[in-house]
A and B are shown apart, each in its own frame.
Chain A
Amino acid sequence: MASGPYSAKVMDHFMNPRNVGEIEEASGVGEVGNPACGDMMRLYLKVEGGKVVDAKFRTFGCGAAIASSSILTEMIKGKTIEEAEEITNQHVADALDGLPAVKIHCSVMAEEAVKAALEDYRKKNPA
């Protein structure tokens, strides 16, 4: 059900967020945003054989921030690292059937969380 400014897809991921939680001994963790700005996301990735095999998140934020985090974890699972790096905020927003203009930064946060988590992974696993 769509609610207020949000699409039905956003509301579904907000009400029933996928993959909330942490990954023990994650391959990479990315934290972006700041509670002072109203939102903060922590993304945990498990990488095996160059592929993202699991993803979990915890997010403090508005409906768009939680929905962006949730759908991102679905989008990223099964992708190679290279594919994961190509996820943009536009992909996230499109997957949610769009976001209100002032909420685009929430999808940007999701994109940045992936980059931060993969950077952490590379630090832990230098080539």
Chain B
Amino acid sequence: MAHIFFDHISTTPLDPRVLEAMMPYLTERYGNPSSHIHDQGQQALKAVDAARAEVAGLVHAKPQEIVFTSGATEANNLAIKGAAEASGKTGKHLVVSEVEHFSVLNALTFLRNRGYEVTTLATDTDGRVDPDDVRRAIRPDTVLVSVMHANAEIGTIEPIGEIGRITREQEVLFHTDATASAGHIPLDLRAVGADLVTLSAHNFYGPKGTGALVVREGVRLESQIDGGFQEMGYRAGTENVPGIMGMGRAAGIAAAEMGEWVSHLTRLEKRLREGIASSIEHLHFTGHPTDRLPGHVSFWVEYAEGESLLLFLNVHGVMAASGSACSSNLKGRDEEDLIASHVLRAIGVPSDICTGSITFSMGKGNTEQEVDHVLSVLPGIVRRLWEMSPTYLDYQKKILQGG
């Protein structure tokens, strides 16, 4: 039975070298970096600082600009709420794209409920924000603009360099959520003009439960967790030393090997994309055709429902994702939780069709043989679902009647 993981946007497998770097800190090196007068503590402090430098290297930041968090969700919360609260009475307005992750959108809902105003920018049908829209949205009381680096669901890379130039000119803070992109495509904090960048370790072959917010020197942020003075006062709580060690190692590996990964994934992506395009009718690719994450192929198929596609793929040993209504929140409380993805709605995919969406996101460990296996099973799965679908039957009847 095949075991093909094409869902790297949800998470990535831990690189064995990362585990190796973590192990001593789960076993014999158990010190607390804050208790650094004795040997155990000192060892932990030095280790965390070394990891900080490695993570900084990944985005060309300074080590003291890395604030470790429990993950991207916490980093996004800290960036948005922290920047808004630090602006005091002068800033009451924030700008965001409509295709952000829920940890950005819901942090903004929190602020909106406390009197802040939020401008939500629409995207084009490729899911891209127009930098001119950012310029037009900025007001004298704007604190922060938040636009992601790349979108996990449709793979589109946002024009963050252009947005950064505008926020620089207008002297507004710029936050970019690089959860889906960091470790996969180059990102230079200063070249982009970003002030705050969100990173997630488990999205680039590191461990879950560790992330970071890159806070450019001079940026003021209100801490969101009350406690001690860890992480330069931005984030209280004893450091997750093993997780941080893993993130540091993962960042070091990504920085060194990214170029290799990109060329491998670009080859796989081309093979998968061309194979799908030539074997499945009524198929529409989503996201920007060229400015996209390497190894990311997303699309929707008419007359087939997304969760059914995923279930059949899983039976054939292929693990993928969908933004479909029925697979969006199986643990939700009620049917209201079963709505199609906000990203697909944002790019104008009709809601009755959002349902057939699939995201294949490949990683460094995937192979051409795995791509070929997916290509060998997918057309049959789609055909089977069409044969069961009343909407496909109606379509065929219409064709027969010359309609």
Contact = CB atoms under 8 A, between A and B. Distances in A.
A102 B315 contact: no
Contacts of A36: 351-352
B393 A38 contact: no
Given A35-B352, A38-B326, A60 B305 contact: yes
B352 A66 contact: no
Given A20-B387, A62-B326, A39 B305 contact: yes
Nearest to B387: A20
Contact of A35 (B312, B338, B387, B391): B391
B146 interface: no
A39 B326 CA distance: 9
Interface string A11-32: 1001101001010000000010
Given A20-B388, A31-B390, A36-B352, A63 B335 contact: no
B311 A4 contact: yes
Contact of B355 (A20, A31, A38, A63): A38
Interface string B318-353: 000000111101111111011010000000000111
B311 A59 contact: no
Nearest to B325: A38
A40 to B, nearest CB: 6
Main secondary structure of the interface of B (DSSP, over half): helix
A38 B314 contact: no
A72 to B, nearest CB: 14
Contacts of A105: 335
A101 B332 CA distance: 8
Contacts of B389: 58-60
B308 to A, nearest CB: 6
Nearest to A15: B315
Given A3-B314, A58-B393, A66 B327 contact: no
A60 B390 contact: yes
B390 A37 contact: no
A42 interface: yes
A50 interface: no
Contact of B307 (A22, A42, A63, A101): A63
Interface in B379-396: 387-393
Nearest to B303: A60
A62 B337 contact: no
B305 A4 contact: no
A30 B329 CA distance: 28
Contact of B388 (A31, A59, A100): A59
Interface of B: 303-308, 311-312, 314-315, 324-327, 329-335, 337-338, 340, 351-353, 355, 387-393
14 contacts: A14-B308, A14-B311, A38-B325, A40-B390, A58-B389, A58-B393, A60-B388, A62-B324, A62-B327, A63-B308, A102-B329, A102-B333, A103-B330, A105-B335
Given A58-B393, A100-B331, 17 more contacts: A3-B315, A20-B388, A34-B352, A35-B353, A38-B325, A38-B326, A40-B391, A41-B390, A58-B390, A60-B304, A60-B305, A60-B391, A62-B306, A62-B326, A63-B308, A66-B308, A102-B332
Interface of A: 3-6, 11, 14-15, 17, 20, 22, 31, 34-42, 58-66, 100-103, 105
